[in-house]
Structure 1
Amino acid sequence: MEKGSTTPQMDNVQMRAVIASNGTATTVTANNGFSSPSRLGGLPNLNGWLNNLPSLKSEPEEVHIGRLTGVNTTIKSNLGRFTYMLLKLRKLQLEVNYFTECIHEGVVPKCLRLWQYPTGLQDASDFHQELLALFNRHGTELMELLYHLKKVHFQTSDGEDLFFDENGDVVVRSDIVNWQLTPDGVMKSLTVGWSKPYTLHGQQLFVNNSAVVWSGGHFEVPKSVCSEACNAGYRRVIRQGEPPCCFDCIPCSDGEIANKSGKCICIKCPDDYWSNTEKDFCISKYIEFLSYEDPLGTSLAAIAVALSLMPVGVLCIFIKHHDTPVVKANNREISYFLLVILTLCLLASLIFIGHPRNETCIFRQPAFGIFFSICVSAVLAKTITVVIAFRATKPGSRLKNLFGSKTSFFTIVCCSVVEIIICIAWISVSPPFQETDKTYPQKTILQCNEGSAAMFYCMLGYLGILATISLLIAFHARNLPDSFNETKFITFSMIVFISVWLSFIPAYISTKGKYMVAVEIFAILSSSTGLLLCIFSPKCYIILLRPDMNTRRYLVRQNVA
């Protein structure tokens, strides 16, 4: 078959022709207007053309062009001679190059074809010169032939179109043949599809997959890999000592994904994202903090509000029975003040619930520390008042001058001002602030960074010192007369207070996020409620249920006894 090329040009002519030479399809390229070469391969671009030519399997005695209607016999003869000379020249050139390489390597091949033709180098030069002369004489006729070949377009006996495209390639239907082994052991060919390059897009190829029989008599495409491709969410791990196509599929680690099948590595999700369950997509981390919408936050807030009503109720009872001996005993004003502070301590826990902000982070821990220091200082003042009241009854005691509300409030102020100074220094040097912790899987924690852990534990430590002093003084005064037996309840209340906050520290350190906040709120509520119940529940019991014990005569009788 022949292929046509572009329109002819006089100075620089390129041509292509596919001719049948002993049944072998060959592409020939030539150039017009060359100067005489001084050595083999001197033609411009000739080496490039020759590299595209297959070498001859044997030396043909003649080359047939085929039937070309309207083409001069001389042109056909010259074209055949021209093609044969190109092939022969290519073959000789390959042998010369191989012989040259053998000389450089110091090896003399015994079966080299060139040794059978001692004049091989001269033959190559002669072919070269004859090739140039032939093309210079008949180049125009050859180009005219190719010009007509380009316009060839006819139908075969099967009704298929045959023509050449713009590149000179033949456009023809091709059948797809499947060789199948019959039960008798005979190979037979079966057409299972076709290819029509000139048809509409999408209709150029057809394959009847159901008619295809693969090796072994299988109707499914055989698998050519040792292991199946890993699905999305898995990565490949090559098995030791086996070929690279043999691997195991293991799931991606948490926080990593493989969004396509056959991945060798997993991709780590950004800090704000986390892998889904299938490990094939990154999803946004949910933000965690103790909010009022959270069931835990709602429960703690409801408990705090409910418990804050208890000291308010006790305060109302004390105000209503303010002239009774039980209320007057141990400094009535300090009792009122302590009930108010306990209410503030319980309500201070609400500052810890909600979206952490710099403002709430700065004030929530200092507010908690100051309120509790005032509360413990008031308990210490009540304890000191009990001791002074008992000592002042002795003849000649100078403690009578210290007995009264002024001494109690002076004790509260002096003890609380130290805690206030600690909190002011804390806020000034390293104030708490809001931070985002993205190191946790599946969630981003919004929390308050205490700024300085040393200042935080210094604040707690001072509360512990005040509580310990109150405990020691109350325990020392536990054997006072029954009319002043409030120290026993103060002792028990301080034991509860210290126990709660000692257990709080390890629980606070071991938890993170909203549960850390919940632990501190629980400690605030439990310690405040413990103080309220231990100190005031016995008095409320006498006022409400045993009014017969809330008389001066009963107290005098207890003292006499």
Structure 2
Amino acid sequence: MINELVTTRRDYCNDFYLRLTLKIIWKVLIAQEAAARPRVGARYFQSGDFIIGGITSQFLVPFAQNNFHQHPSQSQIDENIVVTKNYQHLLALVFAVEEINENRQILPNVTLGFNIYDSYFDAWRTYHATLELLSSLNKFIPNYKCDTQNKLISVIGALYTETSLNIAEVLGIYKVPQFTYGSTPRVFDKADTISFYKMVPSEAYEYIGILQLLLHFSWTWVGVLTADGGIGERFEKTMLEVFPSRGICFAFLERIKTIYVNNLLDFINSLVSIFNVSMKSNANIVIVYEEHMINFRWLLHLPEMGMVTMEPKGKVWIMTTSMVLMSQIYQRTWDIQAIHGALSFTVHSNEVRGFQDFLQTRSLFSTNEDGFVQDFWEQAFDCVFPNTFLSEEREKTCTGAEKLESLSGLLFEMNMIGQSYNIYNAVYAVAHALHAMQSSQHKHRARVDRRIWNFQDPQSWQLHHFLRTVSFNNSAGDKISFDQNGELIEGFDIVNWCIFPNQSFLRVKVGRLDPRASQDNMLTIHEESITWHRSFNQTTPFSVCSESCQPGYSKRRQEGKPFCCYDCIPCPEGKVSNQKDMDDCVKCPEDQYPNQVKNSCLIKDRSFLSYEDSLGISLVVLVLFFSWLTLLVLGSFMKYHNTPIVKANNCNLTYVLLISILLCFLCALLFIGQPGMAMCLTRQMTFGIIFSVAVSCVLAKTLTVVLAFTTTKPGSRMRKWVGKPLASCIVLSCSLIQVGICVVWLGVSPPFPDVDMHSLTEEIILECNEGSPTMFYCVLGYMGFLAIISFIAAFLARKLPDNFNEAKFITFSMLVFCSVWLSFVPTYLSTKGKYMVAVEIFSILASSAGLLGCIFSPKCYIILLQPELNNREQLIRRKN
């Protein structure tokens, strides 16, 4: 068989792995040769009035056995590889029983005893051991008791889920209380839950703890390694249902098989695949939900074996309660530095006074009833007892003087570990329940379940009533009690593993999971106490599929990948993201706008053309200047009203025109300042009416010139229209039409103050809403209609032979006027906010200045600078 193995694996393993495999198989073969060893077997017992049964799991491991329904031979059972660390579980039970028997206050006149068997992690041996507990001592006759002592009152076991369920199949028939101290099996039959007392809190709390731990450190991209079996499948199902809804997704999800000799090669190959997947992944956090630390250590040992070429990366391993840092005998020299910085959920425990002293007094010869001690001693201290089948040259001989405290913590710990603490508390729970039963008999003779307690011959099922209500403080100060489901009301400790170069380690409590707190406050973690793996340089590890999207960006999921994998894209115009990793950008409120980097909203400024604004000040200065200039012209005309040049152009009409131009300049002030109701109602209509009067005056002047030349012909009927009546009629009729348009505007949809929040990104525009844009453009259109008629009439009359002919000047003024207002419309529509108002003011000033300059500047030039020309004779002479 050895030759076959070497041939099969020659291409896959190096010399170290070959030597290791041969050594393991050699130990198994040598063990089978030593089957006749004279000892009691895998049992540890002590008599008493009441017996607490103990079934330990995988203390003695049948390494070559992987079929639970196959009955192992005696040679396979008697010599196997020992998980030495689990030996403390037995000693915790022994210590608790001895401590209770020495304490006369708990069970006076009663002695507790115990029988402990190993299940060998085999269903057949588990059933057999359970039935032996139900039989008389040394007589395998189930359901028959021939001794008055050694009444089985409860059973403690086992460490692993499957073994516990196998035990429960038998004990459930007899309603014997069963305490589980390791994994917590899920029982679906409510009838079976009556017998279960779980010293480990519900695994549901452990799921919550893992989730909250990930959320606390913002670890959203994690790998998962689970046991290949029922508990692994249950954990995967829970994770896939709950974790993604809280933003956690999985980089990989792999299952670790259980190791047996006849599947060793497949086991190694599967581990190689898992190792490569784990180390290639960028997930720095890996959850390990596995009951057997031994299997996990094989995974971490692959680089030393030379089975993988990839360099191991630093990972934060998150381990569950069932995983205790331990080693089988062949693993004692394997490096455990990869576990440095791991976080583990462990059963809450405290150091029990006197336990270390108890361990220090243990020796190979301290008891004759310990059927486990010899196997433990040989493999823990790597020695053998004299045996005819073994040569002394190969192995050192055990002396029995070896000390437990000299062992590595991987093989045995002097401090009480979590599972041992559970066993200690379970024994005390039984003792306190028996004490309560005894007190009930003596004091109250209470009738429960229609029966009277008879403490002289109690039945194990009668203990349930008292176990459900038991509550006490143990010697470490922790309160022990069970809830309605028979689960210990206790939480978990979060432990940080610190591994030193000499392979020693330290467990540091860095947090706590309290199931009695609200779900969001269950977890307490002290980050400053955590030592991370050396590859992280003592900075908190970062584990996400994609880097966080900073404010100003949103996430876009990458196609074909989990939802934790995404790209970061900038927020579009008008939207912001003010937190990391936002799924989408959001719009700012209407009165706010995004800043430049789009990570926050800023308050919009309220914008209007004010007198404090530099633009507003400039326009006011222009208004005042042109108004002063108009007044100067008006004053000059009034001063020289008797001169021919003033008389020749209908001085009253000229005065009306100058006053209208002055008001046109001044009406621009109505457009400056914060818009109010009065301003909005008056400014456009005042502007439209005043400008209509001004243009009507220009039209009247033009028509007067035309009619003046027409009436000079003999017999002309137009003579009666020439003069003041015609001019007044034109001005009044044209102005009244504009007034009528404005009245209709007020009646239909008058202007009103409004707020424009959308036209400009960074400003709220305070404006006057025109109410009806149609009416506004009707006002402008009518004004333009008058200007065009005036322009056409003036253009046709520009060459009439008269020194006092104003037609050519009016032509230029109307050309400027029409040009300004034709360019106004597209400019007005293309600007926003206060600049729109400024465009209208500028158009008002420009058109008014055009009227003033083109019509009156030539006359002012003659009046003020060439007065000698301002007489009738001189004008006639110039004409001739």
Tell me which residue corresponds to 2:553: 234
Mapping for residues 303-452 of structure 1, pairs under 5 Å:
303-440=622-759, 441-452=761-772
TM-score calculated relative to the size of structure 2:
0.47
In structure 1, what residue type is equivalent to 2:860? Answer: C
Please state if 1:539 is matched with 2:864.
no
Question: Residue 169 of structure 2 corresponds to which residue in structure 1?
Answer: 91
CA shift, 1:379, in A, is: 0.6
Deviations 1:202-230 (A, max 9, x none): xx97677685434x585444432222222
Q: Does 1:193 align with 2:508?
A: yes
**Alpha carbons of structure 1 residues 66 and 426: separation in structure 2 relative to 1, 3 Å:** same
TM-score (norm 1): 0.71
- Alpha-carbon separation, structure 1, partners of 2:52 and 2:479: 12
| 1:478-514 CA-partner distances (Å, limit 9, x unpaired) | 1122412311101111111111111111112222222
Decide whether the 8 Å contact of 2:53 with 2:152 is kept in 1: no
The answer (yes or no) to whether the contact 2:52–2:152 under 8 Å persists in 1 is no
Instruction: Give the letter aligned to residue 649 of structure 2.
Output: N
Q: Does the aligned pair in 2 maintain the 1:194–1:207 contact within 8 Å?
A: no
Distance 1:272 1:217 in 2: 46
- Tell me the amino acid that sits aligned with residue 808 of structure 2: K
Structure 2 counterpart SS, 1:478: coil
- 1:456 aligns to 2:456 (yes or no): no
Structure 2 Cα separation of the partners of residues 451 and 482 of structure 1: 48
| CA spacing shift, 1:190–1:232, aligned 2, 3 Å | farther
| DSSP 3-state at the match of 1:229 | coil
Contact 2:510 2:529 in 1 (8 A): no
Letter in 2 for 1:137: Q
* 1:256-297 deviation line (CA, Å, top 9, x unaligned): 333322222223222222233443433322222222222222
Q: Which runs of 5+ in 1 are unaligned?
A: 1-16, 26-59, 98-131, 154-160, 199-203
Q: Distance in 1 between matches of 2:639 and 2:568?
A: 78
Distance 1:165 1:279, change over 3 A: farther
Amino acid at match of 2:852: L
Measured after TM superposition, the shift of residue 151 of structure 1 is: 4.0
Q: CA deviation at 1:137?
A: 3.2
SS of the residue 2:97 aligns to: coil
SS in 2 for 1:520: helix
Structure 2 CA distance for partners of 1:247 and 1:328, relative to 1, 3 Å? same
1:524 Cα shift?
0.8
2:805 aligns with one of 472, 485, 496: 485
**Residue in 2 that maps onto 1:73:** 111
Tell me the residue number matched to 1:529. 849
Shift, 1:169, TM fit: 6.4
State the shift of 1:392 in Å: 3.3
Query: What amino acid maps onto 1:190 in structure 2?
Result: F
Partner-residue secondary structure (3-state), 2:505: strand
In the superposition, relative to structure 1, how do residues 20 and 489 fare at CA in structure 2: closer, same or farther (>3 Å)? farther
Q: Distance in 2 between matches of 1:477 and 1:166?
A: 116
Does the CA-based 8 Å contact 1:497-1:527 persist in structure 2?
yes
| SS of aligned partner of 1:227 | coil
Which of 485, 489, 497 is matched with 1:177 structurally?
497
Counterpart position of 1:474: 794
Contact 1:236 1:262 in 2 (8 A): yes
| Residues 178 and 342 of structure 1, relative CA distance in 2, 3 Å threshold | same
| Number of residue equivalences | 457
Provide the residue aligned with 1:120 in structure 2. Answer: none
Q: Kindly tell me: are residues 240 and 141 of structure 1, through their superposed partners in 2, closer, same or farther at Cα, counting changes over 3 Å?
A: closer
Check conservation: 1:175, 1:194, Cα contact below 8 A. yes
Per-residue CA distance 1:34-92 (angstroms, 9 max, x = gap): xxxxxxxxxxxxxxxxxxxxxxxxxx9xx966322334225765455555799665235
What is the root-mean-square deviation of aligned Cα atoms in Å? Answer: 3.9
Q: Distance in 2 between matches of 1:177 and 1:517?
A: 74
How much has 1:146 moved relative to structure 2? 10
Partner of 1:137: 459
Residue 417 of structure 1 aligns to which amino acid in structure 2? L
Residues 114-149 of structure 1: CA deviation (Å, up to 9, x unaligned): xxxxxxxxxxxxxxxxxx999953677898899998
Of the structure 1 ranges 297-306 and 272-281, higher mean CA displacement relative to structure 2 is found in: 272-281
In the alignment, structure 1 residue 247 sits paired with structure 2 residue 566: yes
Q: 1:19 to 1:421 in 2, by over 3 A?
A: farther
Which of these residues, 499, 503, 506, is aligned with residue 819 of structure 2? 499
Residues 482 and 558, structure 1, Cα contact 8 Å, conserved in 2: no
1:433, CA displacement in angstroms? Answer: 1.7
CA spacing shift, 1:91–1:330, aligned 2, 3 Å = same
Alignment partners' CA distance in 2, 1:142 and 1:337: 115
- What does the per-residue CA deviation read over 1:390-429, in whole Å, with 9 as the maximum and x for residues that have no partner? 3333444444333322221111112211111111111111
Paired AA for residue 111 in structure 2: T
The whole-number CA distance in structure 1 between the counterparts of 2:615 and 2:781 is 28
- Using the alignment, how far apart are the partners of 1:23 and 1:512 within structure 2? 83
Q: Tell me, yes or no, if structure 1 residue 150 matches structure 2 residue 228.
A: no
Report the Cα distance in structure 2 between the residues aligned to 1:403 and 1:150, rounded to whole angstroms: 124
Instruction: Tell me if the contact between 2:677 and 2:752 (Cα under 8 Å) persists in the aligned partners.
Output: yes
Alpha-carbon distance in structure 2 between the residues aligned to 1:414 and 1:407: 11
Q: Distance in 1 between matches of 2:511 and 2:540?
A: 24
Distance 1:190 1:345, change over 3 A: same
- Pair 1:400–1:166, CA change in 2 (3 A): same
Do the aligned partners of residues 312 and 146 (structure 1) sit closer, same or farther apart at CA in structure 2, a change above 3 Å counting? closer
The code of the aligned residue for 1:521 comes to I
Is 1:276 the equivalent of 2:595? yes
Q: Please state whether the residue corresponding to 1:445 is helix, strand or coil.
A: strand
Distance change >3 Å, CA 225–CA 394, structure 1 → 2: same
CA contact (8 A) 2:556 2:566 kept: yes
Give the whole-Å Cα distance in 1 for the aligned partners of 2:489 and 2:848. Answer: 96
CA distance in 2: counterparts of 1:96 and 1:343, whole angstroms? 99
Match of 1:191, as an amino acid?
L
Alpha-carbon separation, structure 2, partners of 1:174 and 1:391: 113
- Distance apart, 1:383 and its partner CA: 1.1
SS at match of 2:579: coil
1:535 Cα offset (Å): 0.3
Query: How far apart are 1:172 and its partner, in Å?
Result: 11
AA aligned opposite 1:164: K
1:136 to 1:280, Cα distance in 2 relative to 1, 3 A: farther
The residue matched to 2:726 in structure 1 has which SS?
Answer: helix
- Provide Cα deviations, 1:512-552, integer angstroms capped at 9, x if missing partner: 22222111111111000000000000001011111121111
Residue of structure 2 in register with 1:520 after alignment: 840
Q: What is the rounded CA distance, in whole Å, between the counterparts of 2:494 and 2:672 in structure 1?
A: 78
Alpha-carbon distance in structure 1 between the residues aligned to 2:187 and 2:855: 116
Instruction: Tell whether the 8 Å contact from 1:162 to 1:170 is kept in structure 2 after alignment.
Output: no
- The farther-off stretch of 516-525 and 429-438 is 429-438
Deviations 1:312-358 (A, max 9, x none): 11011111111111111111111111100100111111111121223
Gaps of 5+ in 2: 1-50, 60-89, 115-149, 159-163, 173-185, 190-452, 483-487, 514-523
